[in-house]
Amino acid sequence: MISISLCMIVKNEERVLERCLESLKGLMDEIIIVDTGSTDKTKKIAEKYTNKIYDFKWIDDFSAARNFSFSKATKEYIYVADADEVLDHDNYEKFKKLKQVLLPEIDIVQMYYCNQLEFNTTYNYDKEYRPKLYKRLRQFIWKNPIHECVQIEPIIYDSEIAIMHKPENNHGTRDFAAFQRMIARGETLSAHLHNMYARELFIAGEAKDFLEAETFFKKSITEQRSTDEWKEANAVLVHCAKLKGDKFTFFKHAMKDIVENPCSEVCCELGAFYVEQEDFEEASNWYYNAIQNVKAILNIRYQEEIPKEGLRFCYEKLEECAEKSGQKQLAMEYNKARKDLDGIVTDVGVNMPHEL
């Protein structure tokens, strides 16, 4: 059986820490808690489960804190958990069995991370694999009978263990402030952080968050970045222009996206613009395309419930217009289309939204 060190970084988690640690009780051979500045009862709660509690001065760097926690581990594997996670009974038993049978050549075990969409997190899937269990010390071995080389890629095992994520709130405010501090220090955001910043804006950002990010993404769109990063920045700038009522800039960026390979986020922005103009037929075209013909790049809701909600509203307005003008058949078709939105969007006569 393998031995496991639980490594956690925490700050002011008194409301959820005990729930997490109770759900893991008996599975871990060592519990390491790194506190980055709690002012509540977090450390008192941790003391019920371990005496390996370390203070780490926060330097605005989660990786540094994680690395510090790993440096204190002594067991064969390290399990990483956040305080707002919970392991239920069935998955506890799966984890217990895994601990007994895990092969020593496995470097990383992935587990399902669940319940993402309910709490407006930065992820677009309700259930997705994440690396959770890491071998503390890797053994490098030679492979191939000829042209031998060292095996450097980790051996990853996808388990069936599912971890419930139950945050008290989303971390948007904290994350946006952290991004702005990095930018103010002149640090370059990697492609991963560029994506996370744009994604979190579209998932949890308020108007002020978008407008604070505008300068960074204006600069980003002129730099030597990938096509994906360009599209992310452009989508943010479309939304910023709409918030400011700057129609010229709004359409400049929106049309660039449409020409280059449109995304659902920009289609929804165009749909919302035409709803404000009370051009419900044109708005429905863009909402329809957001669902049927393109993909979301930052927030999956812009490919699903957001355009569906927009289409329902547009169809309702178009149905009212058709009834007022005596076009009863067309009104019936819009009524049917509105009711069909939970399934596949159906055609509605000559005025049905069309493809890009």
Query: Looking at residue 351, what is its pLDDT?
Result: 41
Q: Please identify which residue in the block is written with the tokens 């050549």.
A: 105
Pick the CATH number of 4-165 from 3.90.550.10, 3.50.30.10, 3.40.1410.10, 1.20.1050.140: 3.90.550.10
Q: Quote the CA–CA distance of 336 and 344 in Å, as a whole number.
A: 12
pLDDT for the residue numbered 148: 67
3-state helix, strand, coil in the chain (%, to 5): 50, 15, 35
Q: What is the pLDDT of residue 347?
A: 41
What is the model's pLDDT at position 354?
41
What contacts 332, CB < 8 A, 6 or more positions away?
none
Per-residue pLDDT of the chain (356 residues; tens, 9 = 90+): 999 999 999 999 999 999 999 999 999 999 999 999 999 999 999 999 999 999 999 998 999 999 999 999 999 999 999 999 999 999 999 999 999 999 999 999 999 998 655 554 555 556 888 999 999 998 777 777 665 677 788 999 999 999 998 887 666 678 899 999 999 999 999 999 999 999 999 998 999 999 999 999 999 999 989 999 999 999 999 999 999 999 999 999 999 999 978 999 999 999 999 999 999 999 999 999 999 989 999 998 999 899 999 999 999 899 888 888 888 888 888 888 777 776 544 444 334 444 44
Report the pLDDT value the prediction gives residue 336, as an integer from 0 to 100.
82
Nearest by Cα to 120 from 205, 240, 229: 205
User: What local confidence, expressed as pLDDT, does residue 150 receive?
Assistant: 75
What fold does the segment set 172-342 form as a domain? 1.25.40
Residue 10 has a pLDDT of 97
Q: Where are the domains of the chain?
A: 4-165, 172-342
CB 102 within 8 A of CB 2: yes
Torsion of CA 67, 68, 72, 74, to 10 degrees: 0
pLDDT at 350: 34
CB of 311 within 8 A of CB of 275? Answer: no
